[in-house]
Structure 1
Amino acid sequence: MNEENESVCLNRSVTEMFRFSSLEDIDVTADGSPVLRFLICLVYSVVCAAGLMGNLLVIFFFRVKQERKKSTVNFFVLSLAVTDLQFVLTLPFWAVDTALDFSWPFGNAMCKIILSITVMNMYASVFFLTAMSVTRYWFVTSAVKTRTLQKSSSAKWICAVIWTLATLATLPTSIFSTVGNVTGEKLCLLKFPGGQYWLAVYHIQKILVGFVLPIFIVSFSYLMLLRFVRNRTMKTMRNRKRRSSVTQSITIVVLCFFLCWMPNHAITLWSVLVKMNAANWDKTYYIVHTYVFPLTICLAHTNSCLNPIIYCLMRKEFRNKLGGLIHRG
């Protein structure tokens, strides 16, 4: 979310940070668009409501209804739902921040807490998606390794490692997030001692650790799985259909993650190149970063409500349970 605040900083102090002598040189208004802010608040509200309902349903089915078939993948689905639930609970704070033209009203401590929770759950979410794809590969290709992975203790250890890695990746956010005064407004943002250089390094870490490396691992896992399926024949048609259905659902989750986050990371990479003077800052960059970039953040945040919806609607046992719950209601 600090990227939105960075965009506001561009609007309010563009003459100090970049090469134009005045805002008239770029023929773009410096104030944030009220229509854009309203749209962002609306998206946050919808994502928050859908994310709360979807993730709570997943948690309800797994924990309260005690899913009959317990597996490592199901454990990761539950962990992903908890992760996304924590994330959507931060959206009301960002909605208020956006409605106030990115002026943070909750104080410095809440800035650190909310920004850290947002970033940490972003990392944890993609790490769980990565773990799910690798686990699915081992589940299909090796019955022996499946039994090892199916042990609850193994899944819990993997979960602990994922949260540890997510916490370590979030440390720069926790340390350097603060409420800063920009042209008289209090903004929740990242303030590194080295200025733009370390902010660029921070964004490179986010792109590599939170997107490029996980997508590479996930793609490799599914390519290997596809190769295995093509080279071997499943024992029965029923098993083949079931495994194909489960693999398809996870693949769609990963594709949704890629499509939701790719535009955001692409513009972030462009921003990194500008900060490191590897690309010029011009009118096109200003317009994209000011008006398109906040929308890519909204698109990325929708991923937190898509995951449970996909799992609830694509898996037959979830559809049956959901239908039964609706009929009883």
Structure 2
Amino acid sequence: MDANDILLTNSSEAQDGMSEDGVATVMTKISMAISLVTCVLGTLGNGLVIWATVFHLKRTVNTVWFLGLALADFTYCLLLPLSATHMAMDYHWPFGSALCKINSGVAMLTIFASVLTLTAISLDRCVSVVMPVWSQNHRRPRLAILVSLALWGMAAVFSVPTFVYRETASMNESTACYTNFATMAEEAALENAWENASEEGYEAALEKYERVRTSRFHALAIFRFLVGFLLPFLIIGACYLIIGLQLWRNHMAPSGKPFKVIAAIILTFLLCFLPFYTFVFLDIWHPPDLPPSLALRVGSPLSTSLASLNSCLNPILYLCMGQDFREKIKRSLRKVLEQAFVEESVASISSSRNRTKSILVGDEGSTLV
């Protein structure tokens, strides 16, 4: 998915001039390179998780969560070559209107599914720490499957506007794949005003037309920021704050592996998505009647690539940090994945400190938080 997919640009004008500035061109090429690297690493890493969870590992709550997360990230990574081609062709879209909608819509669906699943994983870890008895009695794979399906359903609903408003348009011997926030009926009404109304009537119709498009653009951008970043980030941060306090309360060293993983998860989510949504709001504040600023032309491709990078970092964060890398090399691949997805065991309700450590660190030092 390219920068124009992410920024929801209010018109196709954002694609004009992307190659006019040398710096913007360089940043676009860097974005292409990051997208291709993300595609390769993300496809391999998430494909490995899917293969292991489907064919080799016992179905547990953890494997259900990570299967859903890997499916979202894997699907997103498969779409990245289309976006890289789009950028390489100076934002000419040669794949047709249907694939324009499918590419952008499915990409947005998988982004929401990934973020919502990450949030669910954090909540699950937090509940396991705060309510260990309830977790032991009610934490079942079937419930995790139902929750995962519900999250994918929510992601599908959230991505509907992309399927509706994404379309292609021919401009200067080039085809743009962009977000048009006007419906066909509204465009027909404007055209009718142009043909039949007075100059004042047409200007009033045009003003109303632009006001409706801008309001939809702003509403959708703010909704995506709230649901796709701010609320998940606050929930994830709160969950790991609670987990961290539990570790501290049980006298586990703050320099230990669980704290490093907690910090890595929160910082990665922040660094991947904060620039992404920063440029969403820069685009909102930019006057629609002016060409895109240099900041937008330079920053939007790079911020989009950083958001895409999250799809290949998830398997690394949630699997490879589970135990020392040297130890993983010595183990078989299946054993590594089994350790990463290990379910916690309850020794006894009375040994709450040991149980908390088992929940957060896992068997044989495997960290999955």
- Structure 2-normalised TM-score? 0.72
Residues 315, 227 of structure 1: alpha-carbon distance in 2 compared, 3 angstrom cutoff:
closer
Q: C-alpha displacement at 1:178, in angstroms?
A: 0.8
Corresponding letter in the other structure for 2:4: E
Instruction: State the alpha-carbon separation in 2 of the partners of residues 186 and 124 from structure 1.
Output: 30
Corresponding letter in the other structure for 2:271: L
Q: In the alignment, which residue of structure 2 is the partner of 1:56?
A: 47
Instruction: State the alpha-carbon separation in 2 of the partners of residues 149 and 319 from structure 1.
Output: 36
Q: In the alignment, which residue of structure 1 is the partner of 2:348?
A: none
**Correspondence list, 1:1-329, <5 A:** 1=1, 3-4=3-4, 6=9, 9-10=13-14, 12=16, 29=20, 33-66=24-57, 71-193=60-182, 194-231=212-249, 233=250, 245=257, 248-249=260-261, 251-274=263-286, 286-316=293-323, 323-325=330-332
Corresponding letter in the other structure for 1:199: F
Q: C-alpha displacement at 1:202, in angstroms?
A: 1.3
Instruction: State the alpha-carbon separation in 2 of the partners of residues 316 and 219 from structure 1.
Output: 23
Instruction: State the alpha-carbon separation in 2 of the partners of residues 168 and 298 from structure 1.
Output: 24
Q: In the alignment, which residue of structure 2 is the partner of 1:24?
A: none
More displaced stretch, 40-49 vs 207-216: 40-49
Offset from partner CA, 1:147-167 (integer Å, 9 cap, x none): 245311110111011101101
Q: C-alpha displacement at 1:32, in angstroms?
A: 8.8
CA contact (8 A) 1:181 1:187 kept: yes
State the secondary structure of the residue aligned to 2:176.
strand
Corresponding letter in the other structure for 2:45: G
Corresponding letter in the other structure for 1:44: S
Instruction: State the alpha-carbon separation in 2 of the partners of residues 300 and 287 from structure 1.
Output: 20
CA contact (8 A) 1:2 1:189 kept: no
Q: Which structure 1 segments of 5+ residues have no match?
A: 15-27, 235-239
State the secondary structure of the residue aligned to 1:195.
helix
More displaced stretch, 177-186 vs 167-176: 177-186
CA contact (8 A) 1:112 1:178 kept: yes
State the secondary structure of the residue aligned to 2:94.
coil
Corresponding letter in the other structure for 1:97: H
Offset from partner CA, 1:100-145 (integer Å, 9 cap, x none): 1111111011111111111011111110111111110111122222
Instruction: State the alpha-carbon separation in 2 of the partners of residues 92 and 64 from structure 1.
Output: 28
More displaced stretch, 75-84 vs 4-13: 4-13
State the secondary structure of the residue aligned to 1:179.
strand
Corresponding letter in the other structure for 1:173: T
CA contact (8 A) 1:133 1:250 kept: no
Q: C-alpha displacement at 1:10, in angstroms?
A: 2.7
Offset from partner CA, 1:285-305 (integer Å, 9 cap, x none): 701100121111111111110
Offset from partner CA, 1:12-54 (integer Å, 9 cap, x none): 289xxxxxxxxxxxxx946995433332222211110111111
Residues 103, 276 of structure 1: alpha-carbon distance in 2 compared, 3 angstrom cutoff:
closer
Residues 321, 66 of structure 1: alpha-carbon distance in 2 compared, 3 angstrom cutoff:
farther
Corresponding letter in the other structure for 1:12: D
Q: In the alignment, which residue of structure 1 is the partner of 2:195?
A: none
State the secondary structure of the residue aligned to 2:69.
helix
Q: Which structure 2 segments of 5+ residues have no match?
A: 183-211, 334-369
CA contact (8 A) 2:115 2:232 kept: yes
Rg larger in structure = 2
Instruction: State the alpha-carbon separation in 1 of the partners of residues 219 and 70 from structure 2.
Output: 30
CA contact (8 A) 2:42 2:77 kept: yes
Corresponding letter in the other structure for 1:151: R
Corresponding letter in the other structure for 1:207: F
State the secondary structure of the residue aligned to 1:66.
coil
Instruction: State the alpha-carbon separation in 1 of the partners of residues 71 and 143 from structure 2.
Output: 19
Corresponding letter in the other structure for 1:303: N
Q: C-alpha displacement at 1:321, in angstroms?
A: 6.1
